[in-house]
Amino acid sequence: MAYKKTEQYDEKATLDLSANYKSIIQSLGEDVDREGLLKTPERIAKAMQFMTQGYQQDAVAILNSAKFHEEVSEMVIVKDIEIYSMCEHHMLPFIGKAHVAYIPNGYITGLSKIARVVDVFARRLQVQERLTTQILHAIDDALNPHGVAVVIEAQHLCMMMRGVQKQNSLTTTSAFSGEFEKNTTRSEFMKLVTARLS
């Protein structure tokens, strides 16, 4: 039985992107007709569509799809959410973790939806600063909580592979709204995020 992998991609986008990537590879001085590169333009075209799929997704709709009325007003934290995004300046990856919290105001959402919201915005051409605030605003808009906190830590390959070439630098961004603008609430969040519970 022959192996057949099933994937769905926009056919026109795949053709357009493939043609452009073929031209880029040629411009770099490579032979696009050699065996190892024959299917590379198409592979890149599909990979780029996968890595930017967030443009076709609605973060607020995702949160609303699992929105439940619940009289809970304690902090909800989902931490260590893996992030794989693309820097919009050099189209190189940045990789890290997001820590997201909110204080419900009559409604909660499925925990997996928080991670999905992170992916919606990470799977676009991004800067870490904007990614952080987009996650916060989506949760604010969908749930109208008492407050939202987002902290992202990431390593940027545009700083590691090129330019300044600093291998151990870590970029941290944060955004807070509502109750998290108060020092005591923010401190509790940061303490819980950094704690390693056994």
Residue 108: count of CB within 10 angstroms of its CB: 19
pLDDT recorded at residue 119? 98
Give the percent of the chain with pLDDT over 90: 92
pLDDT > 60? residue 3: no
Q: Among residues 30, 57, 90, 155, which one is catalytic?
A: 90
Residues 123-152 have a mean pLDDT of: 98
Residues 156-178 have a mean pLDDT of: 94
Question: How are beta strands 93-103 and 76-87 bridged, if at all?
Answer: antiparallel
pLDDT > 80? residue 23: yes
90 is catalytic: yes
Question: How are beta strands 125-126 and 147-156 bridged, if at all?
Answer: unpaired
Instruction: Write down all domains in the chain, each with its CATH number in brackets.
Output: 11-51 (1.10.286.10), 59-194 (3.30.1130.10)
44 pLDDT tier (thresholds 50, 70, 90): very high
Residues 4-21 have a mean pLDDT of: 88
146 is catalytic: no
Which tokens belong to 99?
Answer: 């820590």
SS3 2: coil
Q: Among residues 82, 88, 129, 181, which one is catalytic?
A: 88
pTM (2 d.p.): 0.93
pLDDT > 80? residue 197: no
Q: Among residues 49, 87, 99, 126, which one is catalytic?
A: 87
Give the percent of the chain with pLDDT over 70: 95
pLDDT > 70? residue 181: yes
Which tokens belong to 5?
Answer: 């992998």
156 is catalytic: yes
pLDDT > 70? residue 1: no
Residue 53 contacts residue 116 (beta carbons within 8 Å)? no
pLDDT recorded at residue 2? 59
Question: How are beta strands 76-87 and 125-126 bridged, if at all?
Answer: parallel
99 is catalytic: no
SS3 107: strand
Counting Cβ atoms within 10 Å, is residue 115 exposed (0-12), middle (13-18) or buried (19+)? middle
pLDDT > 60? residue 41: yes
Tokens 């590879």 appear where? 25
158 is catalytic: yes
